[in-house]
Amino acid sequence: MMTCQELERWITPFIDGECAAAERAGVLAHLQECPDCRTRVEAESTASQVLHAHAAVARTMGVAPAWRPRVARLGQPALPVRPAWLVLAIVGVLLAGWWLRPTPVMAVGVIGDSFCEHEHRFSARFNVGDRECTLGCVKAGAEFVLVTETEVYRIRNQQLPELAALANQRVRMRGTVKDGRLLVARITALDAGETPGRVK
């Protein structure tokens, strides 16, 4: 049976489909028995597929790809990196991380549901109060939301017991917004006199 060291020289030809039948059988037999090598070959195969896909897209756009998927086998650097490009890539990654970070929010409003928001369309129809309408809509599949004067926040952590306890009441919520949804860190019931709104 092929050892891990022997497998080393056959990984790239195996991934590229260039092994002879005997070597391919040996690689497959080894991979069935060795989870570490199997993980490595799967990772390298995925990376190779991604590079091939990007190279194909670059060619369809009439641009020569900045890399060659098989250059590692040729003893050349896989990605020719110029210092200026490296700096730009790092800055781009940092800016993307900063741009996509969760936004801290403190908002004041009423806990409603995603069907009615704060209009309670079913209160009169089913002869129930606004709180019961909110809880009934959530039971029927709606989500709790925070309704302010300017926005309706979808709430990420629906399992919070305070949402049901304070349904249809004015609250202050603190948390972070990411992907358009509010991850609630704290909910506080408010007096009737406070103005709804949002403060970052």
Q: In which band, very low, low, confident or very high, does the pLDDT at 76 lie, cut at 50, 70 and 90?
A: very low
Quote the pLDDT of residue 199: 39
Residue 54 lies in a domain: yes
Residue 183 has pLDDT above 80, yes or no: yes
Residue 113 lies in a domain: yes
Residues 187 and 117 in one domain: yes
Residue after which a domain boundary falls, among 49, 80, 111: 80
Tell which wins on pLDDT, 121 or 137: 137
Residue 166 lies in a domain: yes
Quote the pLDDT of residue 65: 59
Tell which wins on pLDDT, 50 or 27: 27
As given in the structure block, the two tokens for residue 5 are: 């060291």
Type of residue found at 114: S
Residue 92 lies in a domain: no
Residue after which a domain boundary falls, among 65, 80, 95: 80
Sign of CA dihedral 164, 107, 109, 134: negative
Residue 29's domain spans which residues?
Answer: 4-80
E strand map for the chain: 103-113, 144-147, 152-155, 170-178, 181-189, 197-199
Backbone angle region of 180, left / alpha / beta, with phi > 0 → left and psi within -120 to 50 → alpha: left
Give the chain's count of helices (H) and strands (E): 8, 6
Tell which wins on pLDDT, 94 or 24: 24
123-to-89, 94, 111 alpha-carbon distances in Å: 55, 49, 16
Quote the pLDDT of residue 118: 66
As given in the structure block, the two tokens for residue 149 are: 């004067």
Percentage of the chain beyond pLDDT 90 is 18
Quote the pLDDT of residue 170: 92
- Chain-wide mean pLDDT for the chain? 78
> Tokens 């080894």 appear where?
30
Residue 65 lies in a domain: yes
